[in-house]
Structure 1
């Protein structure tokens, strides 16, 4: 049966949701390109300007689930408009920052707006797009996420070179105004909400402690003892969160959401896949520049292959999900990523640049398919009152995977390559082999998790 095209209103609504995914994803990585410039502009050490990136990531990681639950309580469209307004205003404050402390504070507020946008975007798809076309919609949102994250460094470098560092934040102002107008004009009004339901403040604080400690452990360079202490705090916070949620009258996160083992598996697979995708962003530039000896222009062109494949592959991936079913396409996407990682571990040193670009394109295409399928599978049967929390959990799993990939997989790469900025080509190649060998193993684990969840679902009678 052929699928009908979206009508005008859903199409414009989806455009607004796409911007709501693109903007915060872009700002996850765009500031990285400006860190050296910011250090010079404010006369600060690298460890200080690093908080321009960390403040944003920490705000998203600690608040995204709470934002999703709040959207379920007060109305998702209403809260989305608030989030877009916060993000846009904070972006302007970043561009006008007279000092580093101001900039870091504004980035934290920007992260709060981004947490709302990332938490609610997938949840609002069900309100704006016919169910039969949700796969294509999720494919487009996955495309926006992938493009934003991977395009950030190169776009940031171009903007800084042409217009100075404030431009990497000013670009959000016209986009934010357009985004807010599209959401206000084309998304349907919120349904009536239960105003008597209380917000779980204790659970929110416990979860923020847990996620904040983990994010700091993964992102802040320090002694092994400090990292271990932060991870211990994160584990203690997790235990506290579970205890609080069991007693809460209106819990932040209902454990009944995970009665279907496919939901827990879907979130775990999202984190694993995001870890692998961040690996390509960490390892790729070093391999292209030092391993293959490419100049900056050639490196930039090579790095654009991933965003290009994501841009071209997201909508076809969504069509495949709508045509063949989300569950089947989850396995297809994971298999493609596993195969691409294996090729990255063995081909580049023998074939040079083509041996790197072809597997990267294959991995990115698999990622686009997985994103569309897994997002659709996770959101399809969630009740209206819990859709925001489920969407936020999906965003949280993705963000934790990105943070873990930058830290853990970067460490794996350094084990074989030494200092990537100084290592010779042979050591860089050895680091590539090891890192993508580990990445392929992670994808094999994700496939096993998917297979196990499907078998458990069949055994308990879930379809």
Structure 2
């Protein structure tokens, strides 16, 4: 069997094992909690809108803090911060399992999200520190596979644990996994290198607070109201715009900025982040549109819907490592373009084949779309992380994760609104099957347009003045 990374040192295998387990835990933290919401609503005698914050608190903490913790890792040392993040995630999981009420659980989930943000931001940064440059793509593909495995494993594993042991078991599961990840990271991660800069380097606290406020306001604006836009959403969007504007204004005036705005003068970085957001928006369409189309449009029962929906993460988990090898062989620029073409073919298939052939057409579209997504992710992450300066790897990794999260949040709002509008119903649960099929067709037609936009951005950035294959790690 061909090894994932063709490198003989046991230390490297230990590094990859610890980073992979960190990615698995952070993705499992989202997907396993989703399946537990009905049990939590019953246990705490709460409404669905209230227990939904068990998921939102976790996602908001990740989204608002991931860039800041990445930069903090650059300053104080990535190894010690990652160890702290794994420990925090594990202890917060214990807090979730012991929660006597919903308020306690929400607080513990927010702390758990902080730990997950640290693990997500620093796992990719460590690839640049530890993996030979020629094998960066394979390592990125491995981390993508582990994230997908966590997403795929969560609903099935969570359902079994809740049925057998109750809802607290979905958080107890993180304890042995977290301790194992902590032991592997302590044993194998390379020691932090002393900073080359003379004198102390400060952390941008005001920038951190402004960015967190902007991101939290945007995330809430796109999730509150369940698709209905009112004065609260408008106020939150205005807050996000003001806080974001103040953040950008301040970054050019502080001695140690959270994000070096000069980096965005390079077309490749801005293009990579924008493409990452667009692609994540498209992937969210499968999670938003799929359940309604399969259940209402095709009349499938929930068990079959769950099995069909699991096909995406399963294919993603299987295709992550091969995608990374393709990137190592062809280079990141070609990998980005090939991945986008694969996704484009999948979006067209979902728009055309699913309405014609039902569940077979839908599965076919997923099987085409998902490997393209994994190839794009491995190539795009490699493009950004392979040649970035060591003292900026944490911040860059955080920006990549942030652009992905913002794409997912935006996709849930925008694609959900497109699907509802195309289905001609204010309440999707009562829409007719034909309306569901039309909504699916229009939603993935919009997704196709977003992917075409990403392709144009990819070709422009690779041909822009100053862009070269070396810039892209190719």
The TM-score bracket by the shorter chain reads over 0.9
Cα distance between partner residues in 1 of 2:465 and 2:318: 33
Residue 423 of structure 1 is matched in structure 2 by: 431
Does structure 1 retain, via aligned residues, the 8 Å contact 2:462–2:468?
no
Map 1:275-286 to 2 at 5 A. 275-286=281-292
The question of 1:434 aligning with 2:437 is answered: no
2:341 corresponds to which of 335, 344, 353: 335
Alignment of 1:310-321 (within 5 A): 310-321=316-327
Residues 459/28 of structure 1: CA separation in 2 closer, same or farther (3 Å cut): closer
Query: Where does 1:199-348 land on structure 2 (aligned, <5 Å)?
Result: 199-221=203-225, 223-348=229-354
Match of 2:374 among 337, 356, 368: 368
User: For residues 101-112 of structure 1, what are the structure 2 equivalents within 5 Å?
Assistant: 101-112=103-114
Structure 1 residue 395 corresponds to structure 2 residue 397: no
Deviation readout 1:337-393 (Å, 9 max, x if unpaired): 011001100111211221111110111100110111000000111111111000010
Q: Deviations over 1:275-295 (max 9, x none)?
A: 111111122222222222222
Once the two structures are TM-superposed, the CA of residue 414 in structure 1 deviates from its matched residue by: 1.4
Alpha-carbon distance in 2 for matches of 1:457, 1:152: 45
On the 8 A contact 2:120/2:401 being kept in 1, the answer is yes
- Unmatched segments (≥5 aa) in structure 2: none
Q: State the alpha-carbon separation in 2 of the partners of residues 406 and 252 from structure 1.
A: 28
- Give the whole-Å Cα distance in 2 for the aligned partners of 1:72 and 1:459: 26
Q: Conserved in 2, the CA contact under 8 Å of 1:38 and 1:165? A: yes
Give the number of equivalent residue pairs. Answer: 462
| TM-score when normalising by structure 1 | 0.96
Matched, 1:67 2:69: yes
Distance of 2:162 and 2:231 partners within structure 1: 37
| Cross-structure match for 2:173 | 171
User: Do the aligned partners of residues 376 and 366 (structure 1) sit closer, same or farther apart at CA in structure 2, a change above 3 Å counting?
Assistant: same
| Alpha-carbon offset, residue 459 of structure 1 | 6.7
Deviates more, 1:233-242 or 1:40-49: 40-49
Using the TM superposition, name which of 226-235 and 451-460 deviates more: 451-460
Q: CA deviation at 1:152?
A: 3.2
| 1:2-81 aligned within 5 A | 4-81=6-83
Query: For the Cα contact (< 8 Å) 1:90–1:107, is it kept in 2?
Result: yes
What's the offset of the Cα at 1:146?
A: 2.8
Secondary structure at the residue paired with 1:98?
Answer: coil
Q: Give the superposed CA RMSD.
A: 1.8
1:450 aligned to which of 458, 466, 470: 458
User: Which shows bigger deviation, 452-461 or 168-177?
Assistant: 452-461
**Is the 1:127–1:187 Cα contact (8 Å) retained in structure 2?**
no
Alpha-carbon separation, structure 2, partners of 1:76 and 1:6: 24
Equivalence for 2:123: 121
Is the Cα contact below 8 Å between 2:144 and 2:317 reproduced in 1? Answer: no
Measured in 2, the distance between the counterparts of 1:213 and 1:188 equals 37
Tell me the CA shift for residue 457 of structure 1.
4.1
Deviations 1:181-203 (A, max 9, x none): 11111111111135710111111
- What is residue 100 of structure 1 aligned with on the other side? 102
- Kept after mapping to 2: 8 A contact 1:262/1:457: no
Structure 1, 417-426 or 148-157: larger mean CA deviation = 148-157
SS at match of 1:97: coil
Structure 1 residues 338 and 460 mapped into 2: Cα distance closer, same or farther (>3 Å)? closer
The separation in 1 between residues aligned to 2:163 and 2:402, in whole angstroms, is 33
Q: After the TM superposition, which of the residue ranges 252-261 and 314-323 deviates more from structure 2?
A: 252-261
Q: Which runs of 4+ in 1 moved over 6 A?
A: 459-462
Q: 2:159 aligns with which of 153, 157, 160?
A: 157
Q: Which TM-score applies when normalising by structure 2? A: 0.94
Kindly indicate whether the alpha-carbon contact (under 8 Å) linking 1:133 and 1:322 is maintained by their aligned counterparts in 2. yes
Out of 359, 365, 383, the residue aligned to residue 359 of structure 1 is 365
CA separation in 1, counterparts of 2:217 and 2:306?
34
Query: What's the CA shift for 1:6?
Result: 4.7
Gaps of 5+ in 1: none
